[in-house]
Amino acid sequence: MGAEFFYGVEVFLNGLMAGVMYSLVALGFVLIFKASGIFNYAQGIMALFAALTLVGFQDGQVPFAHLINALLGTEVHHFGWHLHSLIAIIFSLIVMLVFAILVEKLILKHLVNQEPIILFMATIGLAYFMEGFGDLMWGSNVKKLDVGIPQGGNFWIEEKTAFLGGEDFYGFYIDTLDIYATVIASLLVISLVLFSQYTKTGRALRAVADDHQAALSVGISLRTIWIIVWTISGFVALVAGIMWGSKSGVQFSLSLIALKALPVLMLGGFTSIPGAIIGGLIIGVGEKMFEFLIGVPFFGGATENWFAYMLALIFLVFRPQGLFGEKIIERV
């Protein structure tokens, strides 16, 4: 087997790691959709806001510094201290918990039994509000996020695999950050699956997803479940924000990672946690391998931008509920 084959294997491995990250983002959508029937357009903004908050805590940045300085004529920007990454992550989680409680109390409880399009429009409004609020609170400049995860090519893997493809192959190039991100995302995905299957709260989440009225009749608090689900989704958004922000910096384009989750959801189904995982892997591997085998030789590259959406469009035509989603039945 020549160097070309092993370059293909390298592309496949990088696709798997990208797919795990797509699955992680998609899980946030699935959790909220299962529990409340809401397609949360704000999931990408949640990842951005969580990452902005984390960097702000790490750097000791004064929240709303621009507004305070404009009103009071001061020049305060930092408290003069820096927090350890772990402590900053804990504080960021607390902020996302408060955010979940506020979303339930100020938005969701007033929209019970409303049409899905109303709920969807509410999350669009929430997304744009959070984008502006994050800008006001932490500033709009690009921020560097460093939580101690190594970056750059993994030279150990490169050296150990250099012999596989002969003189024209120099070993698998795999970013160390991608390896850490894959391990962390995989552990989080497994934890969420176990949580939903084997804990009392997880079973309550699934009961609410299956039938709201039946869940209410056996004493399950819908409002409590919504707070739990939005908190978990906030935690998922924080992890996604850390991984993507560490790679490309914390900037407002980070919110667009949610768009990558849409094809994943269309493939796996909006109500299936395993579907989000498998859909993410299919999209991750598919777009990388398509680019390697077909995109570069026949289209000159740049197929990663549209391959996932084209594949999702095909699924929408022939299997609109996705691979693992519930079959769509309309009563007339």
Per domain, the residue ranges of the chain are 3-318
Q: What is the pLDDT of residue 327?
A: 63
Whole-angstrom Cα distance, residue 92 to residue 62?
A: 15
Read off the DSSP letter of residue 80.
S
- Residue 68 to residues 74, 131, 133, 136, Cα–Cα distance (Å): 7, 19, 14, 10
Q: What is the pLDDT of residue 58?
A: 92
Q: What is the pLDDT of residue 210?
A: 67
Contact 92, 57 (CB under 8 A): yes
Contact 145, 55 (CB under 8 A): yes
SS3 78: strand
Q: What is the pLDDT of residue 219?
A: 76
Phi and psi, residue 263, nearest 5°: -60, -35
Contact 284, 20 (CB under 8 A): yes
Hey, how many other C-beta atoms are within 10 angstroms of the C-beta on 100?
A: 22
- Residue 64 to residues 46, 71, 78, 150, Cα–Cα distance (Å): 18, 11, 11, 31
pTM of the model: 0.85
- Render pLDDT for 212-250 as a digit per residue (tens, 0 to 9): 677 777 777 777 888 888 888 889 889 888 888 888 788
Contact 227, 104 (CB under 8 A): yes
Whole-angstrom Cα distance, residue 159 to residue 270?
A: 42
Residues of the chain with confidence (pLDDT) below 50: 331-332
Burial class (CB within 10 angstroms; exposed 0-12, middle 13-18, buried 19+) of 297: exposed
Q: What is the pLDDT of residue 90?
A: 93
Residues facing residue 111 across a β-bridge: none
Q: What is the pLDDT of residue 329?
A: 55
